[in-house]
Amino acid sequence: MILTITLNPAIDVRYKIDNFEINNVFRGNSHKTAGGKGLNVSRVLQLLGEKVEASGFLGGNSGEWISSKIQEDGIVDSFIKTNSETRTCIAILGNNTQTEILEPGQKVSQEDVNKFLEFFRENINKSETICISGSVPEGVQEDIYEVICELAKDKKVLLDTSGKFLINGIKGQPYLIKPNREELENLLGRELLSFDELLKGAKEIKNKGCKNLLLSLGKDGAIFINENDEVFKINIPKIKVKNPVGSGDSSIAGFAYGLNNGKSMNETLKLSMACGISNAMIEGTGIIDLDTVKDLLEKITIEKI
């Protein structure tokens, strides 16, 4: 069983509109998903065959909708139910363009935060692997991920967030962080143009406290730095992309599954990439196809550098 934490879930609304531009009118159907990065992780874990318990905050009609969706998917719903309406986020996908409108999320009360931390303390031992993903709604302290990581220091915590939440979370020494290039550049406040610059930047952040770091690089695969500071470059095949939104979350799910099921680090990294790639090949967000994943595993190579 894997416990996932999504403090700021969302109904993700997706439109497919080619040649989208401002100041124009477009028509098209929407597709709704129970979203927020941690729920994408949960869904992919469930598709991989893992039992998943999802937690965080859900509220209002949107919260109820998400709750019903995740239960339909067979995910255990352990969200704290709040009075704050869960947010909606919009993605407009066109031919090679992606426009997103992200609501910050409504304020959560201190009482709800306390309820969540109580739930976490009581349930921490149900799972060896814990996935924390995404942003934090207003009302929750900025160091919440550090607090969670410290409570779970005997577990393998995978922390996938950005900005101040990541900087604070790293202090709790998570097992893994997975920034992408943009998140790493934001953390460091500088552009990382060459492979050497990326590697140097990744090492700089890893040295702040996390045990392992997976720097995901979209179509260029990833760089992995392990607990012994050994560096691996992960090469992935070229594919036809349909929708890369949720690929990072899918790669977290693959990593968590490998870790939780005693796979070697090489197998775990390959599964992580294969899930990310498979997600990018499908229109939906946080969805993988198991046959594609199996096929991709043969095509991913890892080199120590």
Catalytically active residues are 249
Q: Shortest distance, CB of residue 30 to ligand ADP, whole angstroms?
A: 21
Q: Rounded CA gap, 110 and 183, in Å?
A: 29
Q: How many CB atoms lie within 10 A of CB 172?
A: 22
| Residues from 122 through 181 that contact ligand ADP (CB under 6 A) | 180
Interface with ligand ADP includes 273 (CB under 6 A)? yes
For ligand ADP, the binding residue among 251, 260, 268, 285 (CB under 6 A) is 251
| Residues from 97 through 116 that contact ligand ADP (CB under 6 A) | none
The residue among 60 and 218 lying less far from ligand ADP, judged by its C-beta, is 218
Q: Shortest distance, CB of residue 151 to ligand ADP, whole angstroms?
A: 25
For ligand ADP, the binding residue among 4, 82, 212, 247 (CB under 6 A) is 247
Interface with ligand ADP includes 93 (CB under 6 A)? no
Interface with ligand ADP includes 258 (CB under 6 A)? no
Nearest residue relative to ligand ADP (C-beta):
248
Torsion over CA: 208, 213, 217, 220 (sign): positive
Torsion over CA: 206, 207, 208, 211 (sign): positive
Count of all residues that appear for the chain in the document: 305
Q: Rounded CA gap, 154 and 83, in Å?
A: 33
Q: Shortest distance, CB of residue 220 to ligand ADP, whole angstroms?
A: 8
Write each residue from 274 to 303 as x if it is in contact with ligand ADP (CB under 6 A), else as -, in one continuous string.
--xx--x-----------------------
Interface with ligand ADP includes 248 (CB under 6 A)? yes
- Given the rule CB under 6 A, which of 102-110, 113-121, 201-209, 219-227 is the region that contacts ligand ADP? 219-227
- Given the rule CB under 6 A, which of 20-28, 132-140, 236-244, 284-292 is the region that contacts ligand ADP? 236-244
Write each residue from 178 to 197 as x if it is in contact with ligand ADP (CB under 6 A), else as -, in one continuous string.
--x-----------------
- Given the rule CB under 6 A, which of 125-133, 134-142, 196-204, 216-224 is the region that contacts ligand ADP? 216-224
> Within a 13 Å sphere around the CA of 231, how many CA atoms are in the beta-carbon half?
14
Interface with ligand ADP includes 7 (CB under 6 A)? no
Interface with ligand ADP includes 271 (CB under 6 A)? no
The site for ligand ADP (CB under 6 A) is made up of 180, 216-219, 221-222, 236, 239, 241, 244, 247-248, 251, 273, 276-277, 280
